[in-house]
Amino acid sequence: MTEGTYKQAGVDLEASQNLKRRIRDIVTPTHGPQVLAGVGAFGAMYQFSGHREPILVSSTDPVGTKLRLAVMMERYDTIGADLVNACINDVIVCGARPIFFLDYINMSSLRPDVVEELLGGMAEACQGVNCALIGGETAEMPGVFAEGNFDVSGFVVGVVEKSEMIDPTTISHGDVLIGVLSNGLHTNGYSLVRHVYGLDTDPAPLREHRPELGETLGDALLRPHPPYLDALAPVFSRVKGIAHITGGGLIENVPRMLPDDVTARFDTRAWPFPPIFNTIQEDGGIPRDEMYRVFNMGLGMVLVCDPSEVDAVVNLVPDSMIVGEVFSSSGDEQVVLQS
């Protein structure tokens, strides 16, 4: 039997304690008076008030294999924002506003510099939407991941007054689809990207400058998932439904807000695509239908509203436009893409 210390086994308790002290300095600026206990406590505490019939809305998400690209490029400045915004954009679709966020980082070997960079991005994103980065966990688990790799996940809780919830059951024939432009891949489709460019074997394509993109492929792919709360909050009371276009694209995400008896018909010529999608499709020889099944294809959010609200919604939401319509249907197909 081998004798030794925890550090010799791969867990550095002293480094972990030093990191926790630095984490407190990073996340405390996101706390308001509602946070009664945060970093360092066994359980974070948040004093909840200000609602008559509050509905709590929660979501959890990783950043998927986009994290692999960040590891390849040794760049972690955007991944923290990706994580926060991917989670928050899920809870706002019912009209909720985020109130607090927690993170989970799991590494085989603790890298304080990477953790601080990740948390800095999370804290900045949380402050941008008035959400407390209330706590989390940074675990050191030797042997779990290959050298240099790790995992990170986020958890968000939001709240909406019951009487103010967006009700997608009211969506009906004749309603209008309004799209809000994306800035790229957000956090989905990166396994296909890695396959197309052979990145697991050779990450060199990430450093190549692509004239059609005006930047390197890596820079275009690491562009962070933006938050949509500030853009959409002014129209929460004017829309019948919101879909966050994540993994599965329009095909899988739009039906999540639709009643069973309607279909959403999109005119794919109605909005511009960020050039990164054309680059990936051409470089990989990817069929059109597969692109729409995997990527958001230029739409980060899709809203549904009554025709009488269209002008107001488009005027209030930046980078938005009419992209289709809703019609009655008895078939199984709930999304139709026309070009």
Q: Domain 13-164 belongs to what topology? A: 60s Ribosomal Protein L30; Chain: A; (3.30.1330)
With tokens 């999109």, the residue in question is 266
Q: Where are the beta strands (DSSP E) in the chain?
A: 35-37, 45-46, 54-62, 97-107, 132-140, 150-161, 176-181, 209-210, 215-216, 241-244, 262-267, 299-305, 320-328, 335-338
pTM of the full predicted structure? 0.89
CATH 3.90.650.10 in the chain: give the residue spans: 168-338
Q: Domain 168-338 belongs to what topology? A: Phosphoribosyl-aminoimidazole Synthetase; Chain A, domain 2 (3.90.650)
> Any residues with CB less than 8 A from the CB of 26 and at least 6 apart, and which?
116, 119, 120, 123
CATH 3.30.1330.10 in the chain: give the residue spans: 13-164
Q: Give bridge partners of residue 132 from the DSSP assignment.
A: 100
Other Cβ atoms closer than 10 A to 196: 17
| pLDDT number for residue 6 | 45
In the chain, which ranges are continuous DSSP H helix?
A: 13-27, 66-73, 79-91, 112-128, 190-197, 217-221, 229-232, 249-253, 275-284, 288-294, 310-316
CA distance 323 to 264: 10
Q: Using one digit for the tens of pLDDT, what is the confidence trace for 118-137?
A: 999 999 999 999 999 988 88
Q: Using one digit for the tens of pLDDT, what is the confidence trace for 50-108?
A: 889 999 999 999 999 999 999 999 999 899 999 999 999 999 999 999 999 999 999 88
